[in-house]
A and B are shown apart, each in its own frame.
Chain A
């Protein structure tokens, strides 16, 4: 008989050990899967986890790419985690990301083809405001009418996607684009391009902002009264009320922060790696960031590591498809396993496993 016994306090040792255990379990079960589809499991796992970092042919390119891929995930996840800590479930970061990109791009394109060093900063502000405004819709509806922010923020993703399709083939369409949908390329216009700050490092403004966000979130949550209020609201809402924490202000702050960060992430993507507002611009970063936030245990440093790990599995998975010819679906399955085990073994952090007969009730 196996029993689970709740620990009085989460085990510190297991908090550190569970992610490693999860990765090992994923390697074992993923390896079994790869050998079932006729690929050498050792080669597949080496390609996914090792080659992006150390392969002589690829690593020089893919190591900086880890930062490029992880940057927006971390930036969005940091914003989400602050809300999640307070029990405010913003599921609509994808929409805030898209609207941020649209607003930022529109602000810049309105000035095209002017050249000025102020254009990119203006676009960043516009992107942040766009994401903020989109997040304010569920926030205000919740504060004023008590609507459910999960539902409203999620539904607004679909609205944002349709707006994206509309502006891509409408007002933001490249006038020189032969009638095809998609804006001018913002990464090719010197006033709006968000280039690597140091060549071949992958460090663009968005990645830098993500790192700054990690530090600020850490300070906020551990050293600042607002962070304390947020944690209190999440862990003991009634106590928070008695302590004079305004639920409305907490909701507006958390959703607003998430919106600003997601909007900025969208703007940095559209001016850098993605390059243009197009129908397919939103590629699910807002949803993946939810996974990153939980994978990182809603802790800023954890999110940083989780974002890098997710990026590694994406890039390693691409290399495995390319070099070993494994199907794309097997990579998604492998990523799914990793998340499953990471969340699954978490039980060991909060519970003790006991063998033997249970005591008489």
Chain B
């Protein structure tokens, strides 16, 4: 037994030193690490839809494997290592908290490709990162919110005060304000990505303050369920996934979900695995949006008047065609200082590190 252990240990050392054992390549194995269950109806569900689309696209040439509900702490590195050992050729780690584990494992398996969603560390040549320009979607729903509100109070359920979320808040508010100069924004921080009870509480608190259009930066459908209790006097949006179940009420009237921002990962997964198969794969830092089909606005329901639908569609078309950038000046920072001049657009670096509100938003960003 002791000798066996020693031999196995030596073998482990060799495997770790020289990367995954070479496996005859008839099929490409793409593996996915998910932070939630594939049935969460939001973030993980959409990544899994992307994985299924990948399989659909390439059929027998691609094999997919995945693991659900992998915690972002100590377990992630082990799970990713086991995937690399099992012969995965490319591993997509689909949550921010997998950033360091992904890079650590990548160092040990130079022949395996690693793709980390929403992170910024590419410490090894075999690590790429990818994200989507969700603020493009926020611009469209912001416009709709500005037009739909009766009380001139719109709400945003924030998860954590990070650049990604602040970018979304600014884009949402800016476009609501362009559509309706009277609009006021209420931001509530839930300090969670997924906690239906807290999300519902946040929505309830805003509804009680007279907010009547709410968008969420958290993953569950609980805010929509809470908005539905208002019986048609308040509205919300699907987040990450279409959340189509809330489009129409049981009695046929328009439901609380008047549109949605859908994360569509399939174009990216198909492109990257395709590149790996035909030998054109390179390390990249991808930040794509509506033009590439990675950010999609779900069907607008009949609560939205036709002219507003048309305006929203025009904005979608302009962003998709690359004619309009949601952060186009003139825009000032919250303190009144100038940020973007007339016609100037924000650069990606500023957006990715965004730590300020735009002019007109009241309240401070927590610490």
Using a CB–CB cutoff of 8 Å, the interface residues on chain A facing chain B are: 57-65, 68-69, 162, 165-166, 169-171, 178-182, 185, 188, 199-201, 269, 272-276, 278-284, 314-315, 318-319, 321-323, 325, 327-329
B window 29-88: CB within 8 A of A: 31, 37-38, 65-69, 71-75, 77-79, 81-83, 85-86
CA A199 – CA B9 in complex, angstroms?
A: 9
B65 pairs with A274, CB closer than 8 A: no
Q: What 3 A-B pairs are tightest by C-beta distance, nearest first?
A: A60-B12, A273-B74, A328-B68
B86 → chain A closest CB, angstroms? 6
B360 at the interface (CB under 8 A from A): no
Q: Does B11 contact A (CB under 8 A)?
A: yes
User: Given the complex, which residues of A lie within 8 Å of B75, measured CB to CB?
Assistant: 69, 283, 314
Please state if B85 and A57 are interface contacts (CB–CB under 8 Å): yes
Q: A58-B85, A169-B160, A179-B355 are in contact. Are A325 and B65 (CB under 8 A)?
A: yes
B65 contacts across to A, CB distance below 8 A: 322-323, 325
**In contact, A321 and B160 (Cβ under 8 angstroms):** no
A179 lies within 8 A of B85 (CB): no
Residues of B within 8 A of A (CB): 5, 8-9, 11-13, 15-16, 21, 31, 37-38, 65-69, 71-75, 77-79, 81-83, 85-86, 96-97, 100-101, 120, 160-163, 191-192, 352-355, 366-367
Q: Which residue of B lies closest to A325 (CB)?
A: B65
Q: A62-B82, A169-B367, A178-B120 are in contact. Are A328 and B69 (CB under 8 A)?
A: yes
* Minimum C-beta distance from B134 to chain A (A): 15
| Given the contacts A60-B12, A185-B100, A315-B78, A278 and B72 also touching, CB distance less than 8 Å | yes
- B191 partner residues in chain A, CB cutoff 8 A: 162, 165-166
**Given A61-B82, A200-B9, A322-B65, 16 more pairs with CB closer than 8 A:** A58-B85, A60-B11, A62-B78, A69-B75, A69-B78, A171-B367, A178-B120, A179-B163, A185-B100, A188-B100, A275-B100, A278-B73, A279-B97, A280-B72, A280-B97, A284-B71
> Complex formed: what's the CA distance from A274 to B331 in Å?
41
Residues of A close to B71: CB separation below 8 A: 280, 283-284
Q: How far is the CB of B327 from chain A (nearest CB, A)?
A: 17
B366 surroundings in chain A (CB, below 8 A): 169
**Chain A residues closer than 8 Å to B5, beta-carbon distance:** 63
B78 and A180 contacting across the interface, CB-CB below 8 Å: no
CB distance from A190 to the nearest CB of B (A): 15
Tell me whether A276 and B8 are in contact (CB under 8 A).
Answer: no
CA distance A272 to B78 in the complex (A): 13
A200 CA / B7 CA spacing, docked (Å) = 12
Give bound CA distance, A61 to B38, whole Å: 27
Pairs A–B under 8 Å by Cβ, sample size 15: A60-B11, A61-B82, A62-B82, A64-B9, A65-B78, A69-B75, A180-B163, A181-B160, A200-B9, A269-B73, A279-B97, A280-B73, A283-B74, A284-B71, A329-B37
Assembled-state Cα–Cα distance A188/B101 (Å): 11
Residues on A with beta carbons closer than 8 Å to the beta carbon of B353: 178-179
- Please indicate the chain A residues that have their CB under 8 angstroms from the CB of B31 in the complex: 322
Known: A273-B74, A283-B71, A328-B68. A58 touches B162 (CB 8 A): no
Write out the residue numbers on chain A whose beta carbons fall within 8 Å of the beta carbon of B160: 165, 169, 181, 279
Min Cβ gap B304→A in Å is 34
**Cα distance A290–B353 in the bound complex, in angstroms:** 42
Which residues of the other chain, A, contact B21 by a CB distance below 8 angstroms? Answer: 57
Give the residue name and chain of the A residue nearest to B35 (CB).
A280
The interface residues of chain A lying within 8 Å CB-to-CB of B37 are 328-329
CA distance A283 to B71 in the complex (A): 7
The answer to whether B86 touches A59, judged by C-beta atoms less than 8 angstroms apart, is: no
Contact flag A273-B15 (CB < 8 Å), given A165-B191, A178-B163: no
Whether A328 and B73, one on each chain, are in contact in the complex, defined by CB atoms closer than 8 angstroms, is: no
In the complex, chain A residues whose CB is within 8 Å of the CB of B96? 180
B13 contacts across to A, CB distance below 8 A: 199-200
Contacts A162-B191, A179-B355, A318-B78; A283 near B9 (Cβ below 8 A):
no
CB distance A61 to B72 under 8 Å? no
Q: Which B residues lie within 8 Å of A188 (CB)?
A: 100
Residue numbers in B under 8 Å from A319 (CB-CB):
82
Which A residues are CB-close (under 8 A) to B354?
Answer: 179
Most buried by B among A69, A165, A279, A327: A279
A199 contacts across to B, CB distance below 8 A: 13
Contact partner of A328 among B67, B77, B97, B161, CB < 8 A? B67
Q: Is the CB of A273 within 8 A of B77?
A: yes
Tell me how far the C-beta of B220 lies from the nearest C-beta in chain A, rounded to whole angstroms: 16
- For the complex, what is the distance from the CA of A178 to the CA of B167, rounded to whole Å? 13
CA distance A274 to B78 in the complex (A): 10
Are B68's CB and A57's CB within 8 A?
no
B71: min CB distance to chain A, Å: 4
Residue numbers in A under 8 Å from B101 (CB-CB): 275
Closest to A165 in B: B191
